[in-house]
Amino acid sequence: MLSLYLYALLSGLDFSQGEWTLIGVSVPNYAPHPLQTRLSAFIITNPQLFQQLQNTWHGQTFYEDYCDYHFVLKFYQNRRLQKTLKINLRCAYATEGVFSYTFNPEWFEALLPHASPILWSRVWFQKNESLRPAVSALLEAPDVYFYEEPEPYLYEGKFIIAIDSLPWQVNRDSLYQAVKKRIESHFPPGKAYVRPYFFYLDDKFLLYFRFEVFCDRKDYDTYHQGLPVSVPWQPHIHPGEAKRLIIFGVNRERFWKYVNAWKARYGAKDTDM
């Protein structure tokens, strides 16, 4: 039987290393909270505060997720996303991945005196080949943060591998490292990027994992043999569809300034977003 325990919500983050940033963004909710009217998106850069949060944000684990969220909190180290927490202030819990933890709404309210507004934009891409130059440009730009990991969009698309029927006690971090090592043994250095996709527990307490592997199509065709592929390679954007990225720290004018400067610097061809 699984036991409940007190979990440190910010475990695994070393706030003494690098430059840390917290960005919060309000998200639609069927029962909005008054705090959402104060800031639609905010930024905090205070390592001492983050260390305090690490010592106090401890919640009990549970396995229900029955409310929509009011805010999403993103923790970045050197502008690279390290952790995402989704917060519901009325139901008083935080969710990371498939697990939820009790969360005192007063913890969130205590953040607001340290918060400053931040610009954010939704950018739509209609062509798969537009993603890589735009993401590359923004990764080089100062004070720009991505809502989700940008590294997958440095590749043309992805496929999914399956790891099935593992005992529920398995260490997820160790499994992830083992999967990365296996992928790296198939692909040349820098030709693939791996991240956990999802996992689920069956009625026999066996775990089933899925991992996304991002790569270019030609590299998939060459190197995927021998991997437990559950979904074959596909592009980020299918014909007739579009892909949305959420980016903090830029408006439309600044976005095009960074992208056009990058294209001029590297001689990239113009592509429609």
pLDDT tens-digit series, residues 124-150: 999 998 999 999 999 999 889 999 999
> Is residue 171 domain-shared with residue 90, that is, in the same domain?
no
Evaluate whether residue 139 is within a structural domain. Answer: no
Looking at the structure, do residues 110 and 186 belong to the same domain, yes or no? no
Whether the Cβ atoms of residue 137 and residue 263 lie closer than 8 Å to each other? yes
Q: Which of 96-105, 191-200, 234-243 has the lowest mean pLDDT?
A: 96-105
Among 85, 101, 117, where does a domain finish? 117
Residue 123 maps to a domain? no
CB of 41 closer than 8 Å to CB of 25: yes
pLDDT tens track for 89-115: 999 999 987 678 999 999 999 999 999
Confidence of residue 7 (pLDDT cuts 50, 70, 90): confident
Whether residues 111 and 162 share a domain: the answer is: no
In a domain, 134, yes or no: no
Of 63, 89, 117, which marks where a domain is finished?
117
Residues 110 and 170 in one domain: no
214 domain residue, yes or no: yes
pLDDT at 43 over 90: yes
Averaged over 66-86, what is the pLDDT? 93
Give a yes or no: residue 252 inside a domain. no
In a domain, 38, yes or no: yes
The region that residue 177 occupies, defined by phi over 0 for left and psi between -120 and 50 for alpha, beta otherwise, is alpha
The total number of structural domains that make up the chain: 2
- For the chain, what is the radius of gyration of the CA atoms? 20
Q: Can you give the residue range of the structural domain that contains 221?
A: 157-235
220 and 165 within one domain: yes
Residue 112 and residue 12 share a domain:
yes
Contact criterion met (CB below 8 Å) for 192 and 211: no
Q: Is 144 inside any structural domain?
A: no
- Would residue 131 count as lying in a domain? no
- Locate 147 and state its tokens: 């809502």
Highest mean pLDDT, choosing among 9-18, 88-97, 129-138, 210-219: 210-219
Same domain, residue pair 111 and 45: yes
128-140 vs 252-266: helix crossing angle, rounded to 10 = 90
- 159-181: pLDDT as tens digits: 999 999 988 888 878 889 999 99
